[in-house]
Amino acid sequence: MKNSKAKKISVFAMMTALAFTLSFLESLLPFNFGVPGIKLGLANVVVVVAVYTMSPFEALAIALVRILLAGLTFGNFYSLAYSFAGGLLSFCIMLALKKSKLSQIGVSIAGAVTHNAGQLLVAGLIMHTSGVIFYFPVLLVAGAVTGFLTGVISKPVTDRLNKNKTASL
Amino acid sequence: MKKTDFILILIVLAVAGAAGLILHFGSDGGEYVRLEVDSKVYDTVSLSENRTVELNTEYGTNTVVIENKTVSVTDADCPDKICVKHSKISKTGESIICLPHRLVVTVVDENEPEIDARA
């Protein structure tokens, strides 16, 4: 493409819109695990792909914007706070572990687990209650499962993008 | 999937399992239920009596039911109704939380305010 800046903006917009759409899709699914805060985290597929195809700052931008957008649209102030805490922590961990011996799926699992743990921690702090610790085991397992799912979905997408260099800016 | 991934999964499951066991066997059935709104105690009710508490605050309404020494939220007018979907609680420390209504329903041992950093 001739204009690299236009291409950059388009790719960003596309990925953000995709993450937003996935968040919306997820909110329609009647999943109930009996414990609050358990989601499939489909939008995280976009974040993981971003981590593996874009520069750290670009991926961070995607992560933050999608949390902000979905949080403002579908949630309230408190859910936004929890999402930010979990999302930011999760992103940093994933970025750091990218260079480790973990595969993309392993990094995704680590990201999901930290995302949940971060949300739980902030929820406990804001609500002044230590009772949230009872959710800990369930959220860990849910994180492992959803992280695995997210990783499995993001891997082929990442491979294709990197092969065609469509997303590399 | 690499070997390290499996190790990670095992570690996560092991920690979850250990934490689960500790939490489950380390705490007993509680005596009271404390209802907090906005981090302030609204009421503390005995777990021994079956009753229904209709909680009406500026944030919304929740229906808390105490039955057979367990607590559950049977109805609420919050948008996501996560508190309603929550399973019953009965052990000391367990809680059901309704975030939009700033409500925390906790099972406690004594009829006393929780000692918590509240400066």
ipTM for this prediction: 0.79
With bands split at pLDDT 50, 70 and 90, how would you rate the model's confidence at B118?
very low
Residue of B nearest to A38 (CA): B82
With beta carbons under 8 A apart, name residues in chain A contacting B4.
100-103, 106
DSSP secondary structure, A1-22, as one string:
---HHHHHHHHHHHHHHHHHHH
Which among B20, B99, B116 is the nearest to A128, CB-wise?
B116
With beta carbons under 8 A apart, name residues in chain B contacting A131.
93-95, 97, 104, 106
Helix (H, G, I), strand (E, B), or coil: what is residue A87? Answer: helix
pLDDT, tens digit (0-9, with 9 covering 90-100), for B46-103 = 888 889 988 888 888 999 999 888 899 999 988 888 888 888 888 888 888 888 888 8
With beta carbons under 8 A apart, name residues in chain B contacting A140.
12-13, 15-16, 19
Number of A to B CB contacts under 8 A, please give it.
94
pLDDT, tens digit (0-9, with 9 covering 90-100), for A65-109 = 999 998 888 777 777 888 899 999 999 999 999 988 889 999 999
Residues B20, B26: Cα–Cα separation, whole Å: 10
Residues A152, A154: Cα–Cα separation, whole Å: 6
Work out the minimum CA distance from B76 to partner chain A, whole angstroms.
15
Hey, which residues does B29 pair with through a beta bridge?
B91
Contact B30, A134 (CB under 8 A): no
Give how far Cα B9 sits from Cα of A8, A87, A91, Å.
36, 20, 19
Question: CB–CB of A141 and B16 under 8 A?
Answer: yes
Hey, which residues does B108 pair with through a beta bridge?
B32
pTM higher than the cut 0.80 = no
Q: Which of A102, A115, A148 to mutate to test the interface with B (most CBs of B within 10 A)?
A: A102
Residues B114, B40: Cα–Cα separation, whole Å: 10
pLDDT at A90: 95
Smallest Cα–Cα separation from A108: which of B17, B5, B12, B11?
A: B5
Say which residue the tokens 């920690």 belong to: B15
Work out the minimum CA distance from A9 to partner chain B, whole angstroms.
33
pLDDT, tens digit (0-9, with 9 covering 90-100), for A116-143 = 999 888 888 877 666 677 788 888 999 9
Give how far Cα B103 sits from Cα of A126, B44, B97, Å.
12, 13, 6
Work out the minimum CA distance from A35 to partner chain B, whole angstroms.
5
With beta carbons under 8 A apart, name residues in chain B contacting A143.
12
The residues on B that touch A, with CB distances below 8 Å, are 1-2, 4-5, 8-9, 12-13, 15-17, 19-20, 23, 36, 39, 82-83, 85-87, 91, 93-95, 97, 99-100, 102, 104, 106, 116, 118
Work out the minimum CA distance from A164 to partner chain B, whole angstroms.
23
Structure token pair of residue A84: 């930010």
Average pLDDT over residues A19-25: 90
Beta carbons within 8 Å of B3's beta carbon, 6+ residues apart: none
Beta carbons within 8 Å of A84's beta carbon, 6+ residues apart: A64, A67, A71
Residue of B nearest to A132 (CA): B95
Question: CB–CB of B86 and A113 under 8 A?
Answer: no
What is the spatial order of strands in the sheet that B95-98 belongs to? B40-46, B32-37, B103-108, B95-98
Helix (H, G, I), strand (E, B), or coil: what is residue A34? Answer: coil
Question: CB–CB of A35 and B87 under 8 A?
Answer: yes
Residues A106, B64: Cα–Cα separation, whole Å: 41
Contact A144, B12 (CB under 8 A): yes
pLDDT at B117: 43
